[in-house]
C-alpha cells in the first residue's frame, strides 16, 4: 500500500509538471500571436518621427490619429470595408445552407450510393484541378469579373461538411424515427429536429466560413478586375506589396514617409479588429461544436 501511494504521488507530480509545461507552451504561443498585433496597433497610433527612427515596439509614442483619419475619410477603404462585410455575410449564410443540405442526406443509411458519395466527396479534399483549369472553368461559366465568382466557388468546404455530418450522427436516431412515424417530411425533420439541436456546430462553422471569406483575397486577385468589387484584404494586399513608402505618402497626401507606415498599420488594424470582435460571441460554441463533431463518424 505504501508503494502504491508513492507511485500515485509520482504520477500526480508528473501530471502537474505536464500541465505546467502545457500552460507554458500556450502562453508562449499566445505571446507570439499577440505581440505583432500590439506592435501594429502601437505603430498606427504613433507620431511619424518615432516611426522614421524605428523606435516603436509595444507602446505608441506621440499619440497620433492621422492614419485612422485618412483611412476613414478615403472612400475606397470604406467602400471595400462595407463590401467585404456584405460579402462575408452572404457567403457565410450560403455556405451554411450548402453544407447542411450536403451533410443531412448522408446520415441516412437507406440513401443509395451513400458510400460512393462519401468517397467521392472526400477525394476532393486531396486533389484539385489547379489554378489554370479553375480559371478556365470560371471563364467558361462567365463568372470572371462577376461578384458571384467570390461566392459560388468557395460556398462548400468538404472538411466543414464532414464536421456537420459527424455532428448529425450524434443526434439520436430515435428522434428522427419518431418524427417519421408522426408523418414529418424529410425537410421538416431537418428544420424541427436537427437544426435546433445543432446550434454549436452551426456557430463553429459560421466562424470558419466568415473568417475564411473575410481574410480571402486570392480569388479576387485572380478572377476580379473591377476594383469596385475588391474585398478589403485585396486592397490591403496591393498597398503592402506594390507601393513603397514614398509612393504611399505621395498618393495619400502625406508629406512625410513615416506616415505611410502608420497608414499600413492602421489599415491592417482596420481590417482585423472587426473579425476579432466576432470571436467572443461564438467562443462558447466553438470548442463544443468542433469536439462533438469529431467524436462519432
d(CA 19, CA 241): 42
In a domain, residue 135? The reply is: yes
Highest mean pLDDT (candidates 7-21, 32-46, 251-265): 32-46
Q: Do 12 and 94 reside in the same domain of the chain?
A: no
Q: Do 33 and 154 reside in the same domain of the chain?
A: no
CB 223 within 8 A of CB 135: yes
Q: Do 76 and 165 reside in the same domain of the chain?
A: yes
d(CA 83, CA 228): 9
Q: Do 24 and 88 reside in the same domain of the chain?
A: no
Indicate the number of domains in the chain. 2
Q: Do 71 and 35 reside in the same domain of the chain?
A: no
In a domain, residue 58? The reply is: no
Q: Do 28 and 79 reside in the same domain of the chain?
A: no
User: Is residue 259's pLDDT more than 80?
Assistant: no
Which domain CATH number covers 207? 1.10.3720.10
Q: Do 130 and 260 reside in the same domain of the chain?
A: yes
Least confident among 11-20, 163-172, 183-192, 212-221: 11-20
Q: Do 39 and 76 reside in the same domain of the chain?
A: no
In a domain, residue 246? The reply is: yes
Q: Do 71 and 105 reside in the same domain of the chain?
A: yes
What confidence score (pLDDT) does residue 235 get?
81
User: Is residue 248's pLDDT more than 50?
Assistant: no
CB 163 within 8 A of CB 293: yes
d(CA 251, CA 291): 49
pLDDT band at 99, cuts 50/70/90?
Answer: very high
Q: Do 153 and 244 reside in the same domain of the chain?
A: yes
Residue % of the chain over a pLDDT of 90: 5
Q: Do 24 and 109 reside in the same domain of the chain?
A: no
In a domain, residue 55? The reply is: no
The torsion defined by the Cα of 68, 74, 80 and 85, in degrees rounded to 10, comes to 50
What confidence score (pLDDT) does residue 96 get?
92
Q: Which whole number is the average pLDDT over 168-181?
A: 83
In a domain, residue 168? The reply is: yes
Structural domain containing residue 16: 2-44
Q: Would you state the cell numbers that stand for residue 247, as one nine-digit string?
A: 509612393
Q: Do 106 and 243 reside in the same domain of the chain?
A: yes
The whole-model pTM stands at 0.76
In a domain, residue 195? The reply is: yes
In a domain, residue 53? The reply is: no
In a domain, residue 59? The reply is: no
What would the pLDDT profile of 16-55 be if each residue is shown by its tens digit?
A: 777 788 888 988 988 888 888 888 888 877 777 777 777 7
Q: Would you state the cell numbers that stand for residue 154, as one nine-digit string?
A: 468557395
pLDDT band at 98, cuts 50/70/90?
Answer: very high
d(CA 161, CA 3): 51
| Helix (H), strand (E) counts: the chain | 16, 0
CB 117 within 8 A of CB 106: yes
Amino acid at each position: 500500500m505504501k508503494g502504491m501511494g508513492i507511485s500515485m504521488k509520482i504520477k500526480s507530480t508528473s501530471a502537474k509538471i505536464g500541465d505546467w509545461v502545457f500552460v507554458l507552451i500556450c502562453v508562449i504561443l499566445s505571446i507570439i500571436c499577440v505581440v505583432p498585433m500590439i506592435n501594429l496597433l502601437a505603430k498606427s497610433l504613433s507620431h511619424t518621427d518615432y516611426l522614421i527612427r524605428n523606435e516603436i515596439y509595444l507602446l505608441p509614442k506621440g499619440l497620433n490619429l492621422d492614419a485612422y483619419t485618412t483611412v476613414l475619410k478615403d472612400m475606397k477603404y470604406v467602400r471595400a470595408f462595407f463590401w467585404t462585410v456584405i460579402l462575408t455575410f452572404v457567403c457565410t449564410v450560403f455556405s451554411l445552407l450548402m453544407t447542411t443540405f450536403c451533410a443531412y442526406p448522408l446520415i441516412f443509411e437507406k440513401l443509395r450510393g451513400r458510400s460512393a458519395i462519401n468517397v467521392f466527396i472526400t477525394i476532393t479534399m486531396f486533389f484539385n484541378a489547379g489554378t489554370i483549369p479553375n480559371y478556365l472553368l470560371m471563364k467558361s461559366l462567365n463568372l470572371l469579373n462577376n461578384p458571384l465568382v467570390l461566392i459560388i466557388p468557395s460556398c462548400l468546404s468538404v472538411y466543414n461538411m464532414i464536421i456537420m455530418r459527424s455532428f448529425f450522427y450524434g443526434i439520436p436516431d430515435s428522434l428522427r424515427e419518431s418524427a417519421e412515424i408522426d408523418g414529418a417530411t424529410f425537410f421538416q425533420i431537418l428544420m424541427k429536429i436537427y437544426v435546433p439541436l445543432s446550434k454549436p456546430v452551426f456557430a463553429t462553422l459560421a466562424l470558419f466560413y466568415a473568417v475564411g471569406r473575410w481574410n480571402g483575397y486570392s480569388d479576387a486577385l485572380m478572377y476580379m478586375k473591377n476594383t469596385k468589387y475588391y474585398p478589403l484584404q485585396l486592397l490591403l494586399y496591393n498597398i503592402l506589396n506594390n507601393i513603397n513608402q514614398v509612393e504611399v505618402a505621395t498618393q495619400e497626401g502625406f508629406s512625410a514617409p513615416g506616415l505611410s507606415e502608420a497608414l499600413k498599420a492602421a489599415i491592417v488594424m482596420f481590417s482585423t479588429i472587426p473579425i476579432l470582435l466576432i470571436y467572443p460571441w461564438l467562443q462558447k460554441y466553438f470548442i463544443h461544436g468542433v469536439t462533438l463533431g469529431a467524436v462519432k463518424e
